A and B are shown apart, each in its own frame.
Chain A
Amino acid sequence: MIEWLDDFAVRAVIAGLIMVAIAAPMGCLMVWQRLAFLSDTLGHAAVMGVGLGLLLQVQPIFGVLAVALLIVFSLSRVTSFNTALSETTLAIISHTGLAGGIILVGLLPANTVNLEAILFGDLLATTTSDLLTLLVTTVLLLFVLLHHWRSFVAVSVSREIAQAEGIEVRKVQFLMYIMIALLVAVMMKVMGVLLIAAMLVIPTTSARLFSRSPEQMVFISGLYGLGALAGGITGSFHFDWQTGPAIVVSATLLLLLTLVVTRSLKPHLE
């Protein structure tokens, strides 16, 4: 294998960079379409997937993917064109998945699984095969995003108008759900299931404060994501903080900083 990949720190940084590259565009789309809560639900329910995967002795990521896909398939059956995903439904799925998952994980022999790593991420433990999975999935997602970007943006602006103008909104929506399921499965390793949504929402919110176009917002989200990643990894290396939480706290600090700066600049700009 390539030698420099032997260094766990190098693997962690690469995993983080790949995650930022996909979290920025997906995060923007999900915020625009108010789907951030769905990623949270899939994340919580992913614990069930991890448990199932370990019980059935397959890679946990396949268990997670199976559960996430099952959820989005069911959701796309029950939601009609005009109704947004119900918060109640999502909350029930979310917490049942988490609770059931914890019970499943508890059934396993002691020390088979590090629950904390599942919940809050363990970037520094990224293996070469984790990296490969992350890379392949991200490239696939980016390809689909580029290919359908126009439709995704149009549907985000107005489902009704997009549909009347010939975009098949339900198909686009379904594609989006499947992509979110994939995203959650790969982000789990880095962020931990409980903190995935934070990485999709917080850098995006910072970017929104001064973006002028959808693409600009994606790009700036990416920059904020990089900043949060740098902060998180530094915290992890030097202070032994858990990576996921350290990334989230860094992202929020950057958001606060941006708010303060834009607020104090505003009177001068006008």
Chain B
Amino acid sequence: MQAELLVRARRLSLTLGKRQILDDISFELRRAEITTIIGPNGAGKTTLTNIVNGLIGDFEGEIERMPGLRIGYLPQKVYVNTLMPLSVKRLLQLTYSPTDQELDRALAQTEVAYLKQRQVRSLSEGELKRVLLARTTLGQPDLIVLDEPTAGVDVSGETRMYKLIGELRDQLQCAVLLVSHDLHLVMSQTDQVLCLNQHLCCSGLPESVSQHPEYLALFGQQASDSIAIYTHHHDHEHDVSGESPEHRHD
């Protein structure tokens, strides 16, 4: 039996001016599944996540969300308002009203409990990402949307971040929609890959996507090999990430 359907997107298209950003994209997001969007720069990855979480409304096609769907969102570039004095604790209470216990538990979950009383403007990028990840869990989300959660995080931090995302999925039983460049690091956890380049080049299980001709055309044989290596040697993630030549960043 398939897991509960949370979001169904049918034939999404978006044109900005004369530029086609997204072309005829369909997919489904299900409870407790991790879906990873991969694709080159400018492929429309962030745009697609923004349609899912409701930030963009003027698209063609249909998107159905489970009634009452709660979404937690971690944007790619978090503009930290340095003009506002704000503690980490207060940041977590902005739109939610967690109890002290919930707040501590959320921060502990992403290993940043020690930052609770700090001012947000004094955090490093990596610390801020983890605080915000903790924040997304507070609203008991059905779906967490993470747009390149490891941008600005160092390599060892990346591995831990992805491990954390997997743990959150298990604990919260929520769906995760993840935008990532770090193919080799994400793949082992991913249930569904959407390979995007304006249109949906291919989608499905990581192993099948990595052998798809369009995927190979986009990312090259080496990327595919590194996934193959990864899926066979789960324990040596550092070696693989260190050696991977396909390390793209926006």
Interface residues of A (CB under 8 A from B): 31-32, 34, 81, 150, 153-154, 156-158, 160-167, 208, 211-214, 216-217
Contact = CB atoms under 8 A, between A and B. Distances in A.
B75 A158 contact: yes
Interface of B: 53-56, 71-73, 75, 78-79, 81, 83-87, 90-91, 94-96, 119, 132, 135, 139, 145
A158 B55 contact: no
Contacts of A166: 95
Nearest to A81: B55
Given A157-B94, A164-B71, A212 B119 contact: yes
A212 B85 contact: yes
Interface secondary structure of A, over-half rule: helix
A158 B95 contact: no
B85 A213 contact: yes
Nearest to B71: A164
Interface secondary structure of B, over-half rule: loop
Contacts of B96: 165
B87 A165 contact: no
Nearest to A157: B81
Given A154-B95, A161-B135, A213-B87, 16 more contacts: A32-B83, A81-B55, A81-B56, A156-B81, A157-B94, A158-B75, A158-B81, A161-B75, A161-B94, A162-B94, A163-B55, A208-B83, A212-B85, A212-B87, A212-B119, A214-B84
Contacts of A216: 85
Contacts of A165: 71-73, 95-96, 139
Contacts of A162: 94-95
B55 A32 contact: no
Given A157-B81, A162-B95, A164-B145, A213 B86 contact: yes
Contacts of B91: 157
State the 9 A-B residue pairs at the shortest beta-carbon distance, nearest first: A164-B73, A211-B85, A164-B53, A160-B75, A154-B94, A165-B95, A32-B84, A154-B95, A32-B83
B86 A158 contact: no
A150 B96 CA distance: 10
Contacts of B83: 31-32, 34, 208
A37 to B, nearest CB: 14
A157 B96 CA distance: 14
Contacts of A34: 83
A166 B78 CA distance: 18
A35 B85 CA distance: 17
Contacts of B87: 212-213
A153 B53 CA distance: 21
A32 B81 contact: yes
Contacts of B55: 81, 160, 163-164
27 contacts: A81-B55, A150-B94, A154-B95, A156-B84, A157-B84, A157-B91, A157-B94, A158-B75, A158-B78, A158-B81, A160-B55, A160-B75, A161-B73, A161-B78, A161-B94, A161-B135, A162-B94, A164-B53, A164-B72, A165-B73, A166-B95, A208-B85, A212-B85, A213-B86, A214-B85, A214-B90, A217-B84
